[in-house]
Amino acid sequence: MATHSTLPAADSATDQELVLRAQQGDRRAFDLLVLKYQHRVLRLVGRFVRDQDQAFDLAQEAFIKAYRALGNFRGESQFYTWLYRIAVNTAKNQLVADAREGYSVSLNSGGGDESDEPMTEPEALRDHASPEDMAATAELEAEIHAAIRALPEDLRTALTLREMEGLSYEEIAVVMNCPIGTVRSRIFRAREAVEERIRPLLDASPW
């Protein structure tokens, strides 16, 4: 078991080093990985469920699953993409379970705590936004979120990982366990569907 003096801090140890130590039985090394990624995982599963308590439980479940499966991680992908895949599957499994029990579930494209990812205002509104402009912007944002929620699950997931989590196409392919070409197609179709839905608002926009 590694001591506190031999384990690098989370900001100095690489994921690979921490994973290796954790695989060798150092629980604190995995705790550092949890500290490093807990907010990103919580935000990710929060895209799938609206209830914050449920999102927290799912994030914890994802980390527990990752810890138990850590021996199977061979470093063929980045640790965080492997972790994201576990988190996405955990959230999807919960959606299926909730649907079977009759709950109404949908992707929370709003992202939970809006302070984490504030919406960017259009350039024309930054200096002199009138009440009408602000109302139009709010309507557009609401329509974008509604359009994302209306997407099929595979398109929503791909678009969320790309636009809201900033993953590369290669990383999304790992998370979703599909070819990169499929990822590109899903993101293209998702963007096309969202754009088609909001086009009337853009055409009527005062800016």
What CATH architecture applies to the domain 1-105? Orthogonal Bundle (1.10)
The fold for domain 111-207 equals: Arc Repressor Mutant, subunit A (1.10.10)
Say how many CA atoms lie within 13 Å of 27 toward its Cβ: 2
Alpha-carbon distance of 33 to 83, in angstroms, equals: 10
46 to 23, 35, 58, 156, 157: CA distances (angstroms):
28, 17, 9, 13, 12
Residue 173 CB neighbour total at 10 angstroms:
21
pLDDT at 75: 82
Choose the weakest-confidence range: 2-6, 87-91, 157-161, 192-196. Answer: 2-6
Domain ranges of the chain: 1-105, 111-207
pLDDT in tens, 44-53: 888 888 788 8
The fraction of the chain above a pLDDT of 90, given in percent, is 39
- Helix H, strand E, coil C: the string for the chain is CCCCCCCCCCCCCCHHHHHHHHHCCCHHHHHHHHHHHHHHHHHHHCCCCCCHHHHHHHHHHHHHHHHHCHHHCCCCCCHHHHHHHHHHHHHHHHHHHHHHCCCCCCCCCCCCCCCCCCCCCCHHHCCCCCHHHHHHHHHHHHHHHHHHHCCCHHHHHHHHHHHHCCCCHHHHHHHHCCCHHHHHHHHHHHHHHHHHHHHHHHHCCCC
pLDDT in tens, 97-152: 877 766 444 444 443 333 333 333 334 334 444 555 555 567 777 788 788 888 89
C-alpha 73: how far from chain center = 21
pLDDT in tens, 144-178: 878 888 889 899 999 988 888 888 999 999 899 99
pLDDT at 155: 92
b/e map 189-202, b = 16+ CB within 10 Å: bbeebbeebbeeee
The fraction of the chain above a pLDDT of 70, given in percent, is 73
Alpha-carbon distance of 103 to 174, in angstroms, equals: 30
Amino acid (1-letter code) at residue 89: N
